[in-house]
């Protein structure tokens, strides 16, 4: 099956710094990628939809200036958490769409101290 990777798998950073998370589709091209956030013991919540070559579409309540998404190629989307704060600590999961299927990455656990 199709594989989606995320890097890094785990990151710890200081408050106020920015963190970039990469999402790659390894063996297929993805015109659309999605970014989800999951707080402890909660469900996955969609943050934004990322389309290659165009601006991301953010869900209501998600700050686009804080969570910068770039979908520069058909195999790579990046999520940058700018000026991270402890409340941004979460599990971030990306997914990539291929036709009618969606494949999830393994997730990135962000801890902001």
Partner 1 sequence: AQKVTQAQTEISVVEKEDVTLDCVYETRDTTYYLFWYKQPPSGELVFLIRRNSFDEQNEISGRYSWNFQKSTSSFNFTITASQVVDSAVYFCALSPSYTGGFKTIFGAGTRLFVKA
For binding to partner 1 (CB under 8 A), which residues are involved?
32, 34, 41-46, 49, 91, 93, 95, 97, 100-102, 104, 106-107, 109
Query: Cβ distance 58 to 68 under 8 Å?
Result: no
In the complex with partner 1, the residue whose CB is nearer, 32 or 70, is: 32
**Ramachandran angles phi, psi of 92, nearest 5°:** -105, 125
Residue closer to partner 1 by CB (options 19, 105) is 105
The span from the CA of 26 to the CA of 90, in Å, is: 24
Considering the complex, what minimum distance in angstroms separates the CB of residue 31 from partner 1?
A: 11
CB of 53 to partner 1, least distance (A): 16
Q: Tell me how far apart the alpha carbons of residues 53 and 16 are, in angstroms, rounded to a whole number.
A: 29
Of residues 36 and 112, the one with the C-beta less far from partner 1: 36
DSSP 12: E
Q: Are 6 and 22 in contact (CB under 8 A)?
A: yes
Residue 16 Cβ vs partner 1, minimum distance, rounded to whole Å: 26
């Amino acid at each position: 099956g199709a594989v989606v990777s995320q890097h890094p798998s785990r990151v710890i950073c200081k408050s106020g710094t920015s963190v970039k998370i990469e999402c790659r589709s390894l063996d297929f091209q993805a015109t659309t990628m999605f970014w989800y956030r999951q707080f402890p013991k909660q469900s996955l919540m969609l943050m934004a939809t990322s389309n290659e070559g165009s601006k991301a579409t953010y869900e209501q309540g998600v700050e686009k200036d804080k969570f910068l998404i770039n979908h520069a190629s058909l195999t790579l989307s990046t999520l940058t958490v700018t000026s991270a704060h402890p409340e941004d600590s979460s599990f971030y999961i990306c997914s990539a769409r291929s036709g009618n299927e969606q494949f999830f990455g393994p997730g990135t656990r962000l801890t902001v101290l």
